[in-house]
Amino acid sequence: MVQTSQEIAHPLMTVEINYRVSAFGFAASTELGGSGALNIGLQDQRHALRWVHENIRAFGGDPNRVTIWGESAGAQSVALQLMAYGGDTQGLFRGAIMASGSFFGFGQHRLADAQLVYNDMTNATGCADAVDSLQCLKELPFSVINATAYGQNEGQAFGPVIDGDFFRAYPAKAFEQGRLPPVNIITGCNSDEGLTWASVFGDGIAANTTAELAAVLEVGLHMNGTLADQLLDLYPLNAPAPPYSVPLDYQWVSTMAELGLSAGAQTRRLYGLAGDKAVMAGRRKTASEWNKFGGLAYSFRFDTDPSRFPIVVTPGLGPGFAQHGAELSWQFRLPYIAPTPYPPLPNITSMRDLSYAMQATWASFAATGSPNHHGVSWVPYWPAYSNGSQNMVFNATLSDSLNLHVENDDFRRQGIAWMNDKWALLDK
């Protein structure tokens, strides 16, 4: 990324930050609230941004031209930093990039629910009977806290909560009330995200009938039967589904069985609505409404398969194609990302060119606030979303075809609109 930025005459420097996660960064309870220790993982991020603002000039950087960038949970963190303090950036950044994550789709943690998780931790560690349960937890060895936290749904039971200060409103309310800053953003995700996100439904991924899938949605998305039926009507069994580059008549169930993965007759249907609910719908809502806050939004869709057939299963992510995380090696132009399972950048000209195009547009955005000042003649102009509701599509093939283009962002219009109208209900 740094090399590419120099080649397009917009040199930048990168700063990577660490912050506390799981129980260490996002445990929440009245006890933690009373000590001012809610959302400390997000506070870590904000303190890192303050450090950058105060010190980056000493390294040759410009504190007034900082762009924050994150992928997946990192993108959600970027969204939360945009929402922080009622949309006050405190002058710490002027642009933001959210890849495969946005303000919507990842659920919201409520303090009452978080209290139950905290109580489970104190019960499991013997701190429930202490005069000061929080102090008791603080005095326990790291290994004990870490193992106990992992026991809470593998650490997934922890997340940001409304604290009245840093995090003041859930995203749907923040959008409604305009509590977001006038900065430019890039927001986007991958075509086949649902191959990864459907896993949150557990055994439901192998549903075989519409009735079974409706029951899965009722539990997994906390909706009644009427709403589940409405959603399934908008995602019919015969509609295109992830992986979108594979025909619907492909023998998906038997292929997954050979790979040791669960699948049923409704699996690809679930992929479709799961990917839209997790990231695609939120991306569209963010991009379509962002200009009302005073900034420009640039939207993208990563539509490149790092691998196809034979199917290569990516541990923790899914059976390949343009699934969640597939774009990371392209963003960093790396042959692999160690020690993670993310698929490598194939040594094919079109793939390397696609990676360069992503980096050039990202670097241009960080330097100028627009992804179009890179000077690379073969990269199409990327319009702001407010000028026609369009995405930049990053597509290349293993057969060495480069297909960078701009598309109208109108696919699955009804299903995505249904989700975007119901975030107050869906993000629980």
Q: Name the β-bridge partners of 408.
A: 390
> 310: cis peptide before it, omega within 30°?
yes
Task: Look at residue 96 and give its three-state secondary structure.
Answer: strand
C-alpha to C-alpha distance for 386 and 273, rounded to whole angstroms: 26
| The pair of three-digit structure tokens given for residue 295, joined into one six-digit string | 């900034």
Q: What are phi and psi of 242, to 5 degrees?
A: -60, 145
Contacts of 131 (CB under 8 A, 6+ apart): none
* DSSP-derived secondary structure letter, 278: I
* 3-class SS shares of the chain: helix, strand, coil, % to 5: 45, 10, 45
Strands (E), 246-307: 297-302
The three-state DSSP-derived secondary structure of 146-167 is HHHHHCCHHHCCCCCCCCCCCC
C-alpha to C-alpha distance for 191 and 155, rounded to whole angstroms: 27
Find out whether 359 and 1 touch, Cβ atoms under 8 Å. yes
Looking at the annotation, which residues are catalytic?
A: 72, 193
Q: Which of 204, 262, 271, 277 is nearest to 242 (CA)?
A: 271
H or E element at residue 47:
helix 40-55
Give Rg (Cα) of the chain.
22
